[in-house]
């Protein structure tokens, strides 16, 4: 990448922003009693006026945001949100729902020409589990609950959602629904749209919620699909009911090395035709493979150094893999033990048919965890005058090879 780690591009210490535009009638009627918290502080306004894509982070570090929200309000219930929405309609105020601010679609950027007062509605106080119904495999949670907190608290009941986007430390239930989020373990647990049973949705014309969180119904289009991915345009989600499953009995990590990326793609295609999909599976090309290896903590024991050298010798000299060509695949099998062990065996046997070498669970786990880190290396690189971005795309199997080649060019 030719990034010079000695050159530091320090981020700006301060940023000029216009003073908040105030709608006094709205603020007066809202009062100070019934809404749990509000803030006109400059940095709180700035932090609520952007998402996490590279242009936004660049502007934040180096220039300025064209438009900044006027006030941040933190309701802590559906009732408070309903009151806020009613008053916003009455006084012609713009409301922008806010979860964790991790979107990468510029969905929180504000229109610079907007003349009305803008209120960012931070859902962070609606961050609790309301109930867990283990009999019916459902849980109801506040829309502002962040992924990591959600899984930790659900685990206390012996259940989980299994939804794990790379941003799960910071992103929220409301944000996931509003951006149709996908998690790394979707092969087993589904995407957010597969988990969602019901939600409470506060809109300018009333509050929507199904009378029962029924699993599915076969008449007419499902309103969920209008809200999923709607980026806060029609209303504010205050709580959601999602499917949960028992905490998995086992988590089996695994990794395989292939001669080159093309062989890896063929293996992935073959996996897609089995009925033993790993909970998570990722193929990384040689550049990412080497990058991942460079982040590996240094081994401080002579024995580990010796084992590493022996492994390298076996892979490159005996098996004949070219270190500048080989690709790696990391996998996770999570769930009931019988299923996990059997799927693990099926997929490893399949990998061997493509000349794959087993790399072991430790590398599998390291590779899985690396995907959480990889997106943030962009911010580290930016500090050293290097721009980078991670993005996702989907394409048919027949185009995978060509698409990845073109992306690399
Ligand atoms: C490091 C990193 C890794 C990522 N990995 C993944 C990944 O693996 N999978 C994936 O799908 N995405 C990923 N993303 C993108 C992002 O995390 C998702 O889009 C996430 O769902 C956004 O959630 P949020 O709570 O941060 O929402 P925000 O960014 O706060 O908001 C996103 C949009 O939803 C609206 N919104 C938020 N809350 C509500 C609500 N309660 N009611 C109505 N509208 C609301 C906002 O107005 C905005 O339009 C990643 C982002 C980063 C920075």
pLDDT mean values, one per 10 residues, the chain (409 residues): 74 91 95 82 96 92 92 96 97 98 96 97 97 97 98 98 96 98 97 97 96 83 93 98 97 96 97 97 90 72 65 73 90 97 98 95 91 82 86 92 90
Mutational test site, ligand 1, from 99, 108, 166, 235, max ligand atoms within 8 Å of CB: 99
pLDDT in the model for residue 315: 73
- 227-230 contacts, C-beta under 8 A, 24 or more apart: 227/177, 227/178, 227/199, 227/201, 228/177, 228/178, 228/180, 228/192, 228/193, 228/196, 229/178, 229/179, 229/180, 230/178
Known binding positions for FAD: 166-172, 179-182, 231-237
Distance CA 121, CA 202 (A): 12
Contact in structure between 328 and 284 (CB atoms under 8 Å): yes
pLDDT in the model for residue 4: 74
- Whether the predicted interface score ipTM is above 0.95: yes
Cα(51) to ligand 1 centroid in Å equals: 8
pLDDT in the model for residue 108: 97
pLDDT in the model for residue 260: 95
Cα–chain center distance at 173:
11
The full set of domains in the chain, from first to last, is 24-124 (3.30.43.10), 129-246 (3.30.465.10), 250-408 (3.30.70.3450)
Distance CA 251, CA 275 (A): 18
Distance CA 328, CA 260 (A): 8
Contact in structure between 99 and 165 (CB atoms under 8 Å): no
pLDDT in the model for residue 32: 78
Is any ligand 1 atom within 6 A of the Cβ of residue 107?
A: yes
**Nearest-CA residue for atom 27 of ligand 1:** 175
**Nearest-CA residue for atom 28 of ligand 1:** 101
- 185-191 contacts, C-beta under 8 A, 24 or more apart: 185/279, 185/280, 185/332, 185/334, 187/277, 187/278, 187/279, 187/280, 187/281, 188/162, 188/277, 188/279, 188/334, 188/335, 189/161, 189/162, 189/163, 189/245, 189/279, 190/243
Distance CA 365, CA 118 (A): 44
Contact in structure between 70 and 12 (CB atoms under 8 Å): no
Known binding positions for substrate: 378
Tokens 């922003």, located at residue: 17
Is any ligand 1 atom within 6 A of the Cβ of residue 161?
A: no
- Closest atom of ligand 1 to CA, residue 178: 34
Is any ligand 1 atom within 6 A of the Cβ of residue 81?
A: no
70-82 in b/e form (b: 16+ CB < 10 A) is bbbbbbbebebbb
Pairing of strands 118-122, 71-74: parallel
Is any ligand 1 atom within 6 A of the Cβ of residue 175?
A: yes
Joined tokens for residue 343: 């799927």
pLDDT in the model for residue 348: 98
pLDDT in the model for residue 376: 81
Cα(265) to ligand 1 centroid in Å equals: 29
Is any ligand 1 atom within 6 A of the Cβ of residue 147?
A: no
pLDDT in the model for residue 388: 85
- Closest atom of ligand 1 to CA, residue 105: 19
Is any ligand 1 atom within 6 A of the Cβ of residue 118?
A: no
Q: Which of 60, 18, 16, 20 is nearest to 40 (CA)?
A: 20
Mutational test site, ligand 1, from 98, 203, 390, max ligand atoms within 8 Å of CB: 98
pLDDT in the model for residue 299: 64
């Amino acid at each position: 990448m030719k990034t010079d780690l000695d050159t530091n591009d320090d981020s700006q210490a301060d940023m000029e922003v216009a003073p908040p535009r105030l709608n006094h009638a709205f603020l007066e009627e809202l009062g100070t009693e019934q809404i749990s918290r509000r803030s006109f502080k400059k940095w709180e306004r700035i932090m609520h006026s952007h998402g996490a894509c590279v242009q936004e982070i660049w502007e934040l570090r180096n220039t300025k945001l064209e438009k900044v929200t006027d006030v941040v309000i933190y309701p802590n219930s559906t009732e408070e949100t309903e009151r806020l929405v009613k008053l916003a309609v009455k006084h012609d105020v713009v409301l922008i729902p806010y979860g964790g601010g991790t979107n990468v679609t510029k969905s929180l950027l504000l229109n610079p020409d907007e003349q009305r007062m803008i209120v960012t509605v931070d859902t962070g106080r609606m961050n609790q589990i309301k109930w867990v119904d283990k009999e019916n495999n459902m849980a109801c949670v506040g829309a502002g609950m962040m992924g990591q907190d959600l899984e930790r608290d659900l685990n206390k009941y012996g259940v989980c959602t299994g939804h794990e986007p790379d941003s799960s430390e910071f992103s929220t239930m409301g944000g996931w629904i509003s951006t149709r989020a996908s998690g790394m373990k979707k092969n087993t647990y589904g995407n957010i749209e597969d988990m969602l049973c019901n939600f409470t949705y506060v809109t300018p014309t009333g509050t929507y919620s199904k009378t029962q969180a029924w699993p599915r119904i076969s008449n007419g289009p499902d309103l969920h699909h209008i809200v999923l991915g709607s980026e806060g345009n029609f209303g504010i989600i205050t709580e959601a009911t999602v499917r949960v499953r028992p905490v998995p009995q086992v988590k089996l990590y695994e990794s395989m090395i292939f001669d080159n990326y093309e062989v890896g793609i063929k293996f992935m295609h073959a996996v897609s035709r089995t009925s033993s999909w790993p909970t998570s599976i990722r193929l990384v090309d040689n550049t990412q493979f080497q990058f991942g290896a460079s982040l590996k903590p240094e081994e401080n024991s002579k024995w580990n150094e010796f084992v590493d050298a022996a492994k390298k010798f076996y892979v490159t000299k005996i098996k004949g893999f070219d270190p500048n060509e080989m690709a790696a695949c990391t996998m996770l099998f999570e769930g009931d033990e019988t299923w996990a062990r059997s799927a693990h065996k099926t997929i490893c046997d399949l990998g061997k048919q493509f000349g794959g070498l087993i790399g072991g669970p430790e590398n599998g786990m390291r590779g899985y965890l690396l995907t959480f880190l990889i997106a943030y290396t962009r911010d580290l690189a930016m500090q050293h005058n290097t721009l980078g971005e991670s993005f996702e795309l989907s394409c048919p199997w027949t185009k995978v090879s060509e698409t990845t080649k073109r992306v690399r060019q």
